[in-house]
Amino acid sequence: MPLFGLGTWKSKAGGALETSLRTAFECGYRHIDCASAYSNEDSVGKTFQEVFAEGNVTRDDIWVTSKLFNKDHARVRDACQQTLKDLQLEQLDLYLMHWPAVSGCEGPTLKPSIKETWQDMERLVDDGLVKSIGISNFSAKKTKDLLSYARIKPVANQVEVHPYHRNSTVVEFCQAQSINITAYSPLGSNDSEKMFGREGIPKILDNETVCRVAAELGWTPAQVLLRWSLQKGFATIPKSTNPQRIIENIEVLGLELPAEQFEKLNSLSFQIRMLDGNFTTGENTPYPTIRELWDDEVPEENLKRRNLVAA
């Protein structure tokens, strides 16, 4: 898997997304992170076709990830085929279970179970629809449970990681199991702030240490964060639809964060999940609160925000 990719969540289908994909290919991105839930896979697919036809980038040059959404666990094959159709591809490089959650579940049990969904995903590999499969938003506990029965081991766990959410428990567990960590929201996902009501929460791009390190090195704060992500051993998938930033972001492949600055970023005391997954939780569902979703791998700040501990 190329370790540097372009995220596509919140990138509106149409011209801007198509231009950003073209810019990304031109400046060397070879990994595109997609999902049916982003409602733009048809636009991504249209650009793939155009770019392949022009001949500078071939299908074999790029790595395409997509994801099975929570409403589709009972129709894994159909959902994957729809994604292949939208992306105009014959095969995905990686298909992820987007969340360990199923829409509309009532009562304490997931239906289908994670095991049943995973087994359906394994059949996609057997049948050649996807080259590899993985998970996303899985805690260490949920990953360990899946490993107990997986015939095909997940190649990656895509989770939120940046210096404001080091997410150490699952990161260390997966790295010890040789499961790649793909860091999502590596810049702190500022453009999902309103969607999730995070106004007023500190932004990692404005963090004093991040900005000081950027000034010391003559980089941008985004470059500091992306280089940190790569040096932690993660694949990293920043989203941008701004051509200049798309170029600025991939420039980190040629940079190196000195040990001293790297360590400073490893120890920021403020920790918060920007995406706490609250939308997958509810009374009388398998995850009554975010504690059960993440198996307690939740920073105190998130618990306070959801009134699960005294503020």
Q: Which range in 44-52, 80-88, 115-123, 189-197 contacts ligand NDP by CB under 6 A? A: 189-197
**Residue 39 makes contact with ligand NDP by CB under 6 A:** no
* Segment (H or E) for 209: helix 208-217
Q: Which is nearer to ligand NDP, 56 or 287 (CB)?
A: 287
Q: What is the closest distance, in whole angstroms, from the C-beta atom of residue 21 to ligand NDP in the complex?
A: 12
Site for ligand NDP in 114-153 (CB under 6 A): 136-137
**Residue 68 makes contact with ligand NDP by CB under 6 A:** no
Q: Which is nearer to ligand NDP, 169 or 192 (CB)?
A: 192
Strand order in the sheet with 180-184: 6-7, 31-33, 63-68, 92-97, 130-136, 156-160, 180-184, 235-236
Q: What is the closest distance, in whole angstroms, from the C-beta atom of residue 214 to ligand NDP in the complex?
A: 11
Q: Is 38 a catalytic residue?
A: yes
Helices 76-87, 114-126: inter-axial angle, 10-degree rounding:
50
Phi, psi of 95 (to 5 degrees): -125, 125
Selected binder of ligand NDP within 24, 31, 33, 165 (CB under 6 A): 33
Cβ neighbours around 35 below 10 Å, total: 21
- Token pair 């790295």 in the structure block, residue: 175
* Segment (H or E) for 17: helix 15-26
The C-alpha atoms of residue 196 and residue 169 are separated, in whole angstroms, by: 24
Selected binder of ligand NDP within 66, 180, 249, 302 (CB under 6 A): 249
CA-to-CA separations, 22 to 8, 99, 247, 249, 254, in angstroms, rounded? 13, 29, 11, 15, 21
Q: Is 98 annotated as contributing to ligand binding?
A: yes
**Residue 186 makes contact with ligand NDP by CB under 6 A:** yes
Q: Which range in 139-147, 207-215, 234-242, 250-258 contacts ligand NDP by CB under 6 A? A: 234-242
**Residue 8 makes contact with ligand NDP by CB under 6 A:** yes
Cβ neighbours around 217 below 10 Å, total: 16
Site for ligand NDP in 82-101 (CB under 6 A): 98
* Segment (H or E) for 7: strand 6-7
Q: Which is nearer to ligand NDP, 238 or 286 (CB)?
A: 238
The contact set with ligand NDP (CB under 6 A) reads 7-10, 33, 98, 136-137, 158, 184-192, 205, 220, 222, 237-242, 245, 248-249, 275
Please identify every residue annotated as catalytic: 38
| Feature table: binding site for substrate | 98
